[in-house]
Structure 1
Amino acid sequence: MTADGTRVELAANIGTAAEAKAAAEQGAGGVGLFRTEFLFMNAPAMPGEEEQFRAYREAAAAMDGRPVIIRTMDIGGDKALPYLDLPREDNPFLGYRAIRIGLGRQDLLKDQLRAVLRASAFGNVKVMFPMISGLQEWREAKGVLEEAKEELRRSGAAFDERIEAGIMVEVPSAAVMAGAFAREVDFFSIGTNDLVQYTLAVDRMNDKVAYLYDYFHPAVLQLIRQVIEASHRAGKWTGMCGGMAGDPLAAPLLLGLGLDEWSMEAGRLGVIKKELSALDREACRSLADSVLTLDTPQAVRQALEEFRRAIGHTL
């Protein structure tokens, strides 16, 4: 709860079901991102539907009714699976990864979605698709989800018929098209790590250009605002699960922009909770309006630092 009584949700990013219990013990209001690819990367062979189901059910049970957003596997880029025999690519971050593999191997995607759906009978589970770049990809993924639902209905398996389905916003085209997406998805979660990389054409793993990687770049902030506003116009909500969500310097700006959910490493929850609890949303809205007129990341950081000093906060 902010100082003026605005309620926001603070959630945790996890990579295993065991981490869900630890996050709950640290006060997480839910799981904003279950990185399911770690189930696959830590296994000698492709985990089947039953193995996945047990992991997702365990995470849902640990959260005891609090939301658990399960992202379908985000393999590719810097995350390889030897047993999938993926092709070597010169530019893997722009290649065959995430939902592109899921739609290319719909047998694997459907197995995962069946497991997620079955776990939804044991808690407040939502499903999220990564690296969606256009409406056609979203519709194809949603189609596979509907097929999985129908198969479970025929088999008599229990699941949440009203399970929410959303997308990661990490490709600039999805942010630009947020208004169209908002009419069809249930929620957005902004993945700032990739959104910054793709918006600024900066390889964050490359030391020669890493200095250009900055989520306070005005172009990135404009996209974030566009996504949040589009979701709210459609009566939907927007979360953030990238590194920016765990940065206290960004907290007043994100609150002012209207972000509904922050998801981060569990160890950052206390810091961000303390930061948000001292903020007034109207003051943060004025700050956001002012910051969005600035034209360099350096000017944005300076404005945010001055705001924090003015309210007695220091990093």
Structure 2
Amino acid sequence: DLVIPPLKWVELPNPSIIDESVIIVAHDLTPSDTAQLNKQYVQGFVTNIGGRTSHSAIMSRSLEIPAVVGTKSISESVQQGDMVIVDGLTGDVIVNPSDDEIKAYQHKRESFFADREALKQLRDEPSKTLDGHEVELAANIGTPNDLEGVHNNGAEGIGLYRTEFLYMGRDNMPTEDEQFEAYKKVLESMEGKRVVVRTLDIGGDKELPYLNLPEEMNPFLGYRAIRLCLDQPEIFRPQLRALLRASAYGKLNIMFPMVATIQEFRDAKALLLEEKENLKQEGVEVSDDIELGIMVEIPATAALADVFAKEVDFFSIGTNDLIQYTMAADRMSERVSYLYQPYNPSILRLIKQVIDASHQEGKWTGMCGEMAGDETAIPLLIGLGLDEFSMSATSILKARRQIKDLSRTEMVQLADRALNCATVDEVVDLVKAKTTKA
């Protein structure tokens, strides 16, 4: 996550045209821009705005491109020809570093890659605690191009396939056949391991110009994800058909994003079953073993988890949005970033409520937000009973190493104490005291 090429100014009408080594410095990069970055040439990027859980930051981790976002004014403080260090681990950006700083970062970079190499010995190991409790460590992906990282890092499945990236960086909607081929490729590559596909989650900061959606005052609270798909079935049905066709090639789970009411889940399920029947009438092979779940990213959904658990097959907690909606803190805003608190006891209680509701009905709960790969959160999540942790592929081996040093029994006690804390600092101090080795 450390790069030191010289800075070079480029016009960026289309990021995919970059064909030489550069660091991108910009006011902002949209998810669509980020999806088009070629990591062979883009050595890193820095932006004025954004947060750790903005989609461009999340995608940078998936692409293994060092990035620092939310610097406020970095684009105003660099000049063409400047030397720049981008530290994606600490969030530091150093313009025109000294010889000593360059030498120190070159050493840090070597240590980083040496540690990554050492972690590879855990690639085929189970994700099991000291006292034998096993969980699943899965990968988040955006396109079939991410599969190499999935396999290289020993993922036990795919916990989030962000299908919206099939729709980005183009001028028209992908056809049913195009989608089918992409889903089939991923399912075949995983050779029977579980693949959780999220249906189209567009809106918020992820726009499709060819849809001509109206501008909204609060796009993250607006016409997006399952709301858009149910309102425009001509967009939704081809995706459902493509997924159903691909289900014959692996272990497919489907989840619907941004579900706020049980009726939304029922309506989406009804459309899926209707298209399943249509395909069978056409003589197309479709699996009868597809699990249907929802993203839990709205507090209202978490509050009714016991009701949802009776009808869905699984939950996947999307903490990136769940935290911003619970704390009323825009995850893109640096000014309120102090309120974006994954370890807030209120968030931990919601997570516990969802997990317990699923287990009560014999179902399972995963997590696909950034919190799933967070080293402070992992001990708490083990204690809360989370079944599946889905994260950027590059975080998996580090998480596996951490889990193998934890006792599930002790983490249950830790989580119980954390649920009764009043502040984030109290929770963090608890975790540090319990997990820091003497």
Report if TM-score (shorter chain) is over 0.5.
yes
2:332 is aligned, of 205, 211, 218, to 205
Counterpart secondary structure, 1:227? helix
Question: Which residue number in structure 2 is paired with residue 78 of structure 1?
Answer: 205
Alignment of 1:138 onto 2:273: no
Following TM superposition, the consecutive aligned residue runs of length 4 or more in structure 1 with deviations greater than 3 angstroms are: none
Match of 2:370 among 243, 260, 265: 243
The answer (yes or no) to whether the contact 1:45–1:83 under 8 Å persists in 2 is: yes
Of 91, 98, 119 in structure 1, the residue corresponding to residue 246 of structure 2 is 119
Cα shift at 1:207: 1.5
Q: Cα RMSD (Å) of the superposition?
A: 0.9
CA distance in 2, matches of 1:133, 1:47: 27
What are the superposed Cα offsets for residues 241-275 of structure 1, whole Å, 9 maximum, x if unpaired?
00100111111110010000000000000110001
Q: CA deviation at 1:110?
A: 1.2
SS at match of 2:234: helix
Aligned counterpart, 2:385: 258
Q: 1:151 maps to which residue?
A: 278
Does structure 1 residue 301 correspond to structure 2 residue 428?
A: yes
Distance 1:44 1:305 in 2: 49
Q: Is the 8 A contact 1:21 1:62 kept in 2?
A: no
Post-superposition CA distance 1:96-133 (Å, at most 9, x none): 00000110111211110111111110001110000000
Question: Does the alignment pair 1:102 with 2:102?
Answer: no
Q: What is the rounded CA distance, in whole Å, between the counterparts of 1:3 and 1:110 in structure 2? A: 46
- DSSP 3-state at the match of 2:185: helix
Following the alignment from structure 1 to structure 2, what is the Cα–Cα distance between the partners of residues 208 and 110?
Answer: 40
Q: 2: CA distance between counterparts of 1:285 and 1:72?
A: 33
Residues 25-82 of structure 1: CA distance to partner in whole angstroms, max 9, x if unpaired?
2100010000000110133210011000000000111111101111001100000000
- Assess if the C-alpha contact under 8 Å between 2:247 and 2:286 holds in 1: yes
In the TM superposition, 1:157-306 aligns within 5 A as 157-306=284-433
Q: Unpaired runs of 5+ in structure 2?
A: 1-127
Residue in structure 1 matched with residue 78 of structure 2 by the alignment: none
Q: Which amino acid aligns with 2:211?
A: L
| Contact 1:183–1:234 under 8 Å retained in 2 | yes
Instruction: State how far apart, in whole Å, the 2-side matches of 1:115 and 1:172 are.
Output: 31
TM-score (norm 2): 0.70
Query: What CA deviation, in whole Å up to 9, does each residue of 1:153-185 have, x standing for no partner?
Result: 111111111210000000001100000000000
Q: Select which of 159, 170, 183 maps to 1:43.
A: 170
Q: Deviations over 1:214-252 (max 9, x none)?
A: 111111111000000000000000000001001111111
Matched, 1:65 2:210: no
8 Å contact kept, 1:192–1:240 = yes
Which digits, 9 at most, give the CA deviation of each residue in 1:196-226, with x for residues without a partner?
A: 0000100011121111101111111110000
Q: Matched residues in 2 for 1:256 and 1:10: separation?
A: 16
Q: Is the 8 A contact 2:258 2:296 kept in 1?
A: yes
* Aligned equivalents of 1:242, 1:143: Cα separation in 2: 27
Q: Give per-residue Cα distances to partners, 1:273-311, cap 9 Å, x unaligned.
A: 0011111111110111111100111111111111111x4
Instruction: Give 2:151's aligned amino acid.
Output: A
Q: Say if 1:21 and 1:59, in contact at 8 Å, map to a contact too.
A: no
Q: Percent identity?
A: 52
SS at match of 1:34: strand
Aligned mates of 2:303, 2:340 — CA distance in 1? 20
Distance 1:92 1:217 in 2: 25
Distance 2:185 2:200 in 1: 18
| 2:276 alignment partner AA | K
Local SS of the residue matching 1:157: coil
Normalising by structure 1, we get a TM-score of 0.97
Report the 3-state secondary structure (helix = DSSP H, G, I; strand = E; otherwise coil) of the residue aligned with 2:167.
Answer: helix
* In 1: Cα distance, 2:234 partner to 2:172 partner: 15
Contact 1:189 1:240 in 2 (8 A): yes
Count of residue pairs brought into register by the alignment: 311
Q: CA deviation at 1:20?
A: 2.4
Deviation for aligned residue 1:145: 0.8
